[in-house]
Amino acid sequence: MAGLNEDCYKEIIDFLPDAMFVIDSSGSIIAWNRAMEEMTGVPASRMLGKGDYEYAIPFYGQRKPMLANLVMMGDEELTARYNTVRKTGDTLVVDIFIPGFRTGGAWFWAKARPLRDHAGTITGAIETIRDITDRKQAEQETEQIRARLGQIINFLPDATFVIDNKGVVIAWNRAMEQVTGVAATEMIGKGDHEYAIPFYGERKPMLADLVFMPDEEVEKRYHSIIRTTDALLVDIFLPEFGGRGTWFWAKASAIYNRNGEMTCAIETIRDITDRKQAELETDRARQRLAEIISFLPDPTFVIDRNGVVIAWNRALEELTGTTAEQMIGKGDYEYAIPFYGEKKPMLANLIFMPGEEIEQRYHSVQRIRDTLVVDIFIPGFRQGGAYFWAKASPLFDPDGNITGAIETIRDITDRILIEQKLARSSAELQIAAEIQQSFLPEALPKIRGFDIAARSVMAKEVGGDFFDVIPFEVIPLDMGKYGILIADVSGKGVPAALFMALSRIVVRVNALWHRDPAKAIGFANDIITQDSKAGMFVTLFYGSLSEKDRTLTYVNAGHNPPLMYRCSTKTFEELMPTGIFLGGIEHQVYSSRTVEIGPGDIVVLYTDGITESINGDDEMFGEDRLRSIILEHTGMSAIGIMEKILEEVSVFAVGQPQFDDITLMVIRGV
């Protein structure tokens, strides 16, 4: 970081993602960063120098003390007036709901601490604000990650302890209490490796103890330990921990006093049993706030006004294979070589160009105020090339002059490839949906004595539900008869759609060949069972509807029993199963039953997507609601009854995703 002046540090802080402001001892704003501008919509130029609590107006709509003001109050007054504020040392933390901040209000986490001069006199206060509306349940971890260095130990999301140079525990955080079941009060002050007992069941050195050993001794005695510049790292399996054994990642570092003497060692332990491959990302989230540039999760570098590199972080070292030591102090676009194989301007260099020139020469670059963003493909970066997202912003001095630029780079190759794959899959699914839709009847035939309506609503682009109306009029003896079919294939998506296509063809062919529904379904079951290699099956209701005698002769193969409303008695009957589902066992015997459908009688055939629809309270729509809708609208047409049922299901499940396909057929005697 050599070469960074105070102004650069201020600009780097201004680049931070959290909203932040600073007041002096009189309560006047002396800093209002970009994140605060974005959160409140109030630019720094309008807020700097303002006092009398004016900075509270964007949040509360009125002037009132903010957390930063409370820092400068006495403890007694603070305790008496603000019971919800948590104080740790001279730092205040609060979670607060502001109902008037945007529609519906917003939850904020806020943290403030005093600023002191060299004599210890309070000269002002700094406050950081974070919108936690969408992740209120993750307060502890987010507070831990973003807490000041002085709060790291107790608020880290990972189990952490600290020992002094005599091996005595001086800190044992909450996460460590949860991991080990040992309270801090039981462990603080203990030495002689007692802190190893919860992990190993015996006293033995932990990684923190090795910090005090010479490098040669560590390398000689502990071959699995990796030593970085300032830390020891290890992955270790403890077979007795947690009953079945546990994998831990551990990191230990030395803590020095102002004289550079090693006084303590800190060890952080993380359970990586289920996510051992996520080491890099989790490491980044744990870096100290004071090492912002070096420990940012994304590869980042900073150049000064002359285009000379003054910061090159660890993530960028990993991405490019070029160390900070090799790159700090280099200019003349040398930092582009690891990416392009040649010297050429990077996005950070464009910051120094006028806006008009950028727009003329770099059409793919997007400008957001004074920040530049671009997605770019670099064909020569590793085999096959790579896609990168890059963002660059200027660094200013107090007079508003650009003193440098910071650029963050993110490898988005996997995301782009997935998006491209999803785009292709989406197009293919659309074609499949159109093909599947063509399987369903475009229009239902007019059947003398009956009013009929049907519809399918798929949960995904394609699904496993289907219905059919099969005219038998091509056979003279069957004039005035129609096959009525509704079915539900197990599963969803493309596999169900393919099985649906097979089942529809097989049932339709056998229905045209065998007049008895029981025989048609029996033969169809044998064929489908032989072709069902993936354990899929289909439930269906198939019947022969006759104009001549107003009857429905049907087979119910394990399907939801259709509801039959009798107009004369105003009661319901259920058309119960007469055999098992298709695709399970060959040579099944199915039986046919016949019911008469008189004027005003109503038969409702449906799949379980209707009755098993779920509302926000995890309550099912159920058969009782279905009966009530039919009973309430018996005077309507078949399509009217169908639309009412679908409408009520939609209203019932509003806000909930559709988990299953919905198919509905209504037959009404006229």
Radius of gyration of the chain (CA): 35
Phi then psi for 40, rounded to 5 degrees?
Answer: -100, -20
> Are 376 and 364 in contact, with CB atoms under 8 Å apart?
yes
Q: What end-to-end distance do the CA atoms of the chain give, in Å?
A: 86
Q: What was the pLDDT predicted at 312?
A: 94
pLDDT bin (cut points 50, 70, 90) of residue 578 is very high
Average pLDDT over residues 34-62: 92
Residue 70 clears pLDDT 70, i.e. is over it: yes
pLDDT digits (tens, 9 = 90+) for 404-451: 999 999 999 888 888 778 766 655 555 555 555 555 677 888 999 999
Burial state string for 362-397 with b = 16 or more CB within 10 A and e = fewer than 16: beebeeeeeebeeebeeeebeeeebbbbbbbbbbbb
pLDDT digits (tens, 9 = 90+) for 289-306: 335 677 788 899 999 999
> Are 545 and 484 in contact, with CB atoms under 8 Å apart?
yes
Residue 152 clears pLDDT 90, i.e. is over it: no
Helices (H), 66-194: 67-71, 75-81, 139-146, 152-155, 174-180, 184-187
Q: What was the pLDDT predicted at 279?
A: 40
Q: What was the pLDDT predicted at 89?
A: 87
Contacts of 477 by beta carbon, 8 Å cutoff, 6+ apart: none
Average pLDDT over residues 194-202: 90
Q: What was the pLDDT predicted at 614?
A: 92
Average pLDDT over residues 111-128: 92
Rounded to whole angstroms, the Cα distance separating 188 from 624 reads: 62
pLDDT bin (cut points 50, 70, 90) of residue 2 is very low
Backbone region of residue 73 per phi and psi (left: phi > 0; alpha: psi in -120 to 50; beta: other values): beta
Average pLDDT over residues 610-614: 92
pLDDT bin (cut points 50, 70, 90) of residue 12 is low
Q: What was the pLDDT predicted at 113?
A: 93
> Are 464 and 490 in contact, with CB atoms under 8 Å apart?
yes
Of 293, 301, 297, 330, give the one whose Cα is nearest residue 407: 301
pLDDT above 70 covers a percentage of the chain that reads 86
Q: Whole-model pTM?
A: 0.41
Q: What was the pLDDT predicted at 135?
A: 75
> Are 264 and 164 in contact, with CB atoms under 8 Å apart?
yes
Of 532, 537, 478, 483, give the one whose Cα is nearest residue 508: 483
The full DSSP string for 571-594 is EEEE---SBPPBTSSSS-----EE
pLDDT digits (tens, 9 = 90+) for 471-493: 876 555 467 889 999 989 887 77
Q: Where are the beta strands (DSSP E) in 165-308?
A: 169-172, 226-227, 231-238, 246-256, 262-271, 300-304
Q: What's the mean pLDDT when you consider all of the chain?
A: 84
pLDDT bin (cut points 50, 70, 90) of residue 555 is very high
pLDDT bin (cut points 50, 70, 90) of residue 222 is low
pLDDT digits (tens, 9 = 90+) for 105-119: 999 999 999 999 889
477: DSSP letter: G
Of 66, 154, 152, give the one whose Cα is nearest residue 111: 66
Q: What was the pLDDT predicted at 144?
A: 37
Whole-angstrom CA distances from 68 to 20, 73, 93, 311, 547 are 11, 10, 10, 32, 83
More confident residue, 592 or 279: 592
Q: What was the pLDDT predicted at 549?
A: 92
Question: If 0-12 CB within 10 Å is exposed, 13-18 middle and 19+ buried, where does residue 77 land?
Answer: exposed
pLDDT digits (tens, 9 = 90+) for 634-644: 999 999 999 99
Residue 510 clears pLDDT 60, i.e. is over it: yes
Quickly tell me which residue has 């603070």 as its tokens.
78
Average pLDDT over residues 151-158: 76
pLDDT above 90 covers a percentage of the chain that reads 49
Domains of the chain: 6-147 (3.30.450.20), 158-285 (3.30.450.20), 294-411 (3.30.450.20), 433-669 (3.60.40.10)
Phi then psi for 178, rounded to 5 degrees?
Answer: -70, -40
